[in-house]
Amino acid sequence: MENWRLKIARAAVFNSTVALTLALSLATSGSVTAQDGSAWLEAYRLPAARLIGEATSDTFAWRRLTVLTDSIGARLSGSAQLDRAIEWAVAEMRRDGLENVHTEPVTVPRWVRGSESADLVEPARQPVVMLGLGNSIGTTPDGVQAELLIVRSFNDLTANAQKVPGRIVLFNVDYTAYEETVAYRSDGPSRAARLGAVATLVRSVGPPGLRTPHTGALQYASDAPQIPAAAIATEDADRLQRMAERGLRLVVRLKMEAHFEADVESANVVGELRGRERPDEVVVVGGHLDSWDVGTGASDDGGGCIVTWEALRIMKKLNLRPRRTIRVVLWTNEENGTRGGIAYRDRHRSELSKHVLMLESDNGVARPLGFGFSGSEPARQTLRLVAGLLRGIGADAMMSGGGGADTSPSVREGRIPSLSLVVDDSKYFLVHHTHADTPDKIDPLEMAKCAAAVAVMAYVVADMPERLQ
C-alpha cells in the first residue's frame, strides 16, 4: 500500500485534473450534445464538476468507513454491533445536516455461528480451515464424522448418487464467476441431503486466496432434510482432492454450534435531501449496513453505504438542492434474509409510483467503471448521457443489469428504473465474506470516485426538468 501523504497528494492532483477536464468539455461539447437532444445536460456540467471535485478532494468517505468497520465491526443481522451501527448512522446523518433522518423497523432473523471446526481424522489428523455457511444448522456436540465423497459438479454428484448416503459431500468446484459458482454454496447442501448426505462442505466461492474460507448464505430446499454445511479454504479442498486421487479413504469430523434464535427488531436507516420543487418524487440510493460476522464488512457493504450516503452529504455541503428528493437507505439484513428490502417495499407500497430511480452500491468501492441499468430504453438513453458527465473519472459506462438485492423487491413491484454501481471487481471476491474484508483493501481515492459517481448520477436524475421515463 502507498503511504498516506502520497495518497492525499494524488487526490489533490487528480482533483484539479478533473476540474480542468470538465471545464474543457464544458467549453467544447455544446454543439455536439445539442444535436442528440441533450442540450438540457449542459446545465449540469458545472454542478457535476463541483460534486466530483468535492468528493475527490479528501478522504472523508474512507475515514468514515474506518470508523464503522474498526470501531463497530462486523454487523450480522440481529447482532448488537448492527444495532450500534444503526444508531451511529442516524447520529452521523443528523450531524451531516440530512433531513427526515429516521429508522424504519424491520424484523430480522438472528443466526448465531457459535464455535465450529472441521478436522480430517483419517488417514492423519489435520485441521481443515473452514467457515460454517450462514443459515446452516449445527451438528450435535460431538460433531458429525463420516467418510468424505468429493464431487466436481452437480452432474458428478448425480453420477455418484449411490455413494452419497451416510457421507460428507465436498463440492470441489473451481471458481469461475460468482454468479455461477455460488450455486454450490446455496443449493449444494440440499442437493446432497436429498441423496442421503449427512453434511456438506463446499470449496470457498472465490479465487484462491491465502487459505481464507468464504462464508455466505445457503438456502435449504423445503423438500430436503437440513444438514450442516461449511465452506473450506481452496487449499484445503485441493489437498483433500489430491489425497482422494491417491486412493486414500478420507474421514472428516465437522463440529458446528450454528443455530437460529428468535427473530429480533432491526431497521433500515433513512436520510433525505428534500426536493425543492417535487419533494414527493424520490431518487433512492443506498447500500446494506448488515454484513457477515467475519471480517468487518468493509467492501461488503460498508463502502456501499458510505459512498451513497456521501452523495447527499456532498450536495448538502455544496448547497445543491435538487428539484426532487434524494433518499439514502442503509438496508438491513441483505446477507441472510433481504428483509430490509422487502419491508421497504411493503411500507412504501403506495409511493412506489413516485420513485423515479433506485440505485444500489453492493459490488465493492474499488475504481468505478459506471453503472448497470434495468428499465426502459428511453431511461437508459437518458442515463447514458448523464453518465457521460463522469468520463473524467472513467465512470461513464452504462451496462445492462441494474439494481441489487435490496432494491429489487420495490423495483419489481413498482417497475422502477434501477442502477447498480459497477466497479473494478477484480479483487472484490478475494475478500468477499471473509475475515479479510477490512478497509485496508480499499483505496481511499477510488472510493471517493465511487461517491462522486453516485452523487452526479443521483443529483442530475433528481434535478433534471423532465422525470426519468
Active site residues: 334
Q: Applying CB under 5 A, what is the total number of residues that bind Zn ion?
A: 3
**Scanning residues 291 to 310, which ones bind Zn ion (CB under 5 A)?**
300-301
CA distance 169 to 434: 22
Task: Give the shortest CB-404-to-Zn ion separation in angstroms.
Answer: 8
Measured from the CB atom, the residue of 288 and 449 that comes closer to Zn ion is 288
**Scanning residues 326 to 365, which ones bind Zn ion (CB under 5 A)?**
362
CA distance 134 to 368: 29
CA distance 457 to 398: 12
Task: Give the shortest CB-408-to-Zn ion separation in angstroms.
Answer: 13
Measured from the CB atom, the residue of 272 and 406 that comes closer to Zn ion is 406
Task: Give the shortest CB-115-to-Zn ion separation in angstroms.
Answer: 25
**Of 251, 246, 145, whose CA–CA distance to 199 is shortest?**
145
Measured from the CB atom, the residue of 300 and 446 that comes closer to Zn ion is 300
What string marks each residue from 258 to 297 as x (binds Zn ion by CB under 5 A) or -? ----------------------------------------
CA distance 142 to 250: 19
Measured from the CB atom, the residue of 310 and 362 that comes closer to Zn ion is 362
From the centroid of its chain, how far is CA 31? 40
Measured from the CB atom, the residue of 119 and 425 that comes closer to Zn ion is 425
What string marks each residue from 364 to 383 as x (binds Zn ion by CB under 5 A) or -? --------------------
Residues 6+ apart with CB under 8 A from 199: 139, 144, 146, 168, 169, 227, 228, 229, 230, 254
Task: Give the shortest CB-334-to-Zn ion separation in angstroms.
Answer: 6
Task: Give the shortest CB-452-to-Zn ion separation in angstroms.
Answer: 21
**Scanning residues 157 to 176, which ones bind Zn ion (CB under 5 A)?**
none
Task: Give the shortest CB-301-to-Zn ion separation in angstroms.
Answer: 4
Measured from the CB atom, the residue of 50 and 432 that comes closer to Zn ion is 432
Assigned C-alpha cell, 197: 448426505
Task: Give the shortest CB-30-to-Zn ion separation in angstroms.
Answer: 41
Q: Does 301 sit behind a cis peptide bond, omega within 30 degrees of 0 on the bond before it?
A: yes
Q: Which residue has the cell 454450490?
A: 184
Residue 443 binding Zn ion, by CB under 5 A: no
CA distance 221 to 197: 14
CA distance 132 to 118: 10
Measured from the CB atom, the residue of 301 and 396 that comes closer to Zn ion is 301
Measured from the CB atom, the residue of 248 and 405 that comes closer to Zn ion is 405
Task: Give the shortest CB-300-to-Zn ion separation in angstroms.
Answer: 4
Crossing angle (nearest 10°) for helices 4-28 and 444-463: 30
CA distance 191 to 170: 12
Q: Which residue has the cell 450534445?
A: 33
Site residues for Zn ion per CB under 5 A? 300-301, 362
